[in-house]
Amino acid sequence: MNRRKFIKVVTFGAMAIYLSGCGLTAIENDKNKKESGVSAHGNVSGGKSMKIVVINSSPHSESQSTSRYLAQKFVDGAKSAGHEVFIFDAANEKTNPCRGCDQCGMDGACIFDDAIENKLMPEMLKADLLVLVTPLYYFGMSAQLKTVVDRFYARTTKISGKKSMIIATAWNSADWTMEALQNHYETLVRYMSWQDVGQIWATGCGTRSMVESSEFGDTAFKIGAAL
Ligand SMILES: Cc1cc2nc3c(=O)[nH]c(=O)nc-3n(C[C@H](O)[C@H](O)[C@H](O)COP(=O)(O)O)c2cc1C
């Protein structure tokens, strides 16, 4: 083995040991992602404290919601690693869907003087990582989250290039349950030039007891803690 090859092998080995030590294996290929419902890219902050914006969108309460449960686990993990977290509650804030009026010119203030414009957008502009959280609704994101996402239009350029992540929960557990939403999310990542740092596709998690007895809670914490 020549020197270059040796360094490569040692580096990969060290990375694998580090990630499994965190209880988090970097899963990058589609087959594994489909089987486990999770992908994550480990340490993406370079040890610096990141500003994270979490957008919850379930109309279920904090104590009932499956997606809020996983989001909170992720937040607990991220805070334990010293990151700063802002949570936006899309289902309970005053929001308006984009009217396509183009007054913003895709790079300015929205005509709506609502919580998206006044509470969320200032935090998003400062954020390093955006986390979309949704229950699966008819194989897509909730209308509450889609309302927020469409309003990204007003700041398309300014919020491009950020890191992103998605957490979604669903009742069904067939391997195609999340396919359409995953395609949508990955297309969004591509268009916005985001860097995807994690995906949690929590199938078979239709109720609070189902999600609490699954492994997704632990995984969400570990992904947050390993950022
Ligand atoms: C309007 C609506 C549509 C839904 N559509 C789907 C679906 O397409 N596939 C699925 O597996 N579950 C579907 N579900 C179930 C939810 O995704 C599931 O119960 C989820 O855990 C709810 O998350 P939450 O408690 O955070 O809102 C739907 C539920 C509702 C209310």
Instruction: Write out pLDDT tens, residues 99-122.
Output: 999 999 999 999 999 999 999 999
Nearest CA residue ID for atom 25, ligand 1? 65
**Relative orientation angle of helices 216-225 and 66-80, to the nearest 10 degrees:** 30
Q: Which residue has the tokens 């999310």?
A: 185
Residue type at 60?
A: H
Kindly state if the Cβ of 21 falls inside 6 Å of ligand 1.
Answer: no
172 lines ligand 1 (CB under 6 A): yes
Is residue 107 in a domain? yes
* pLDDT, tens digit (0-9, with 9 covering 90-100), for 163-207: 999 999 999 999 999 999 999 999 999 999 999 999 999 999 999
Residue in the structure block whose two tokens are 């984009």: 98
Query: CATH no. for residue 86?
Result: 3.40.50.360
- Our answer on whether the CB atom of 143 is closer than 6 Å to any ligand 1 atom is no
Instruction: Tell me whether residue 3 is in a domain.
Output: no
Residue 34 lies in a domain: yes
69 closest CA partner among 181, 210, 165: 210
With tokens 């927020």, the residue in question is 148
In a 10 Å sphere around its CB, with 0-12 CB exposed, 13-18 middle and 19+ buried, how is residue 10 labelled?
Answer: exposed
Cα of 12 from ligand 1 centre, angstroms = 39
- Above pLDDT 70, what percent of the chain? 85
Please check whether residue 151 lies inside any domain of the structure: yes
Query: pTM of the prediction?
Result: 0.88
Does residue 171 line the site of ligand 1, with CB under 6 A?
yes
If we measure between CA atoms, which residue out of 168, 163, 194, 188 comes closest to residue 50? Answer: 163
Q: What b-and-e string marks burial along 67-98, b requiring 16 or more CB atoms within 10 Å of the CB?
A: bbbbbbbbbebbeeeebebbbbbbbebebbeb
pLDDT at 13 over 80: no
Cβ partners under 8 Å of residue 186, min gap 6: 196
What's the pLDDT band for 213 if we cut at 50, 70, 90?
Answer: very high
Question: Is residue 43 situated within a structural domain?
Answer: yes
Q: How far apart are CA 202 and CA 77, in angstroms?
A: 18
Identify whether 6 is part of a domain.
no
Residue having the nearest C-alpha atom to atom 27 of ligand 1: 58
Is residue 214 within 6 Å of ligand 1 at its C-beta?
no
Predicted confidence at residue 4, as pLDDT, reads 53
**Mutate which of 171, 205, 210 to test ligand 1's pocket (most atoms within 8 Å of Cβ)?**
171
Total domains in the chain come to 1
In a domain, residue 17? The reply is no
Closest CA to 152 of 198, 196, 191: 191
Interval 120-162: pLDDT, tens = 999 999 999 999 999 999 999 999 999 999 999 999 999 999 9
**How far is ligand 1, taken at its centre, from the CA of residue 154, in Å?**
29
Q: Is residue 145 part of a domain?
A: yes
Q: What range does the domain containing 89 cover?
A: 25-225
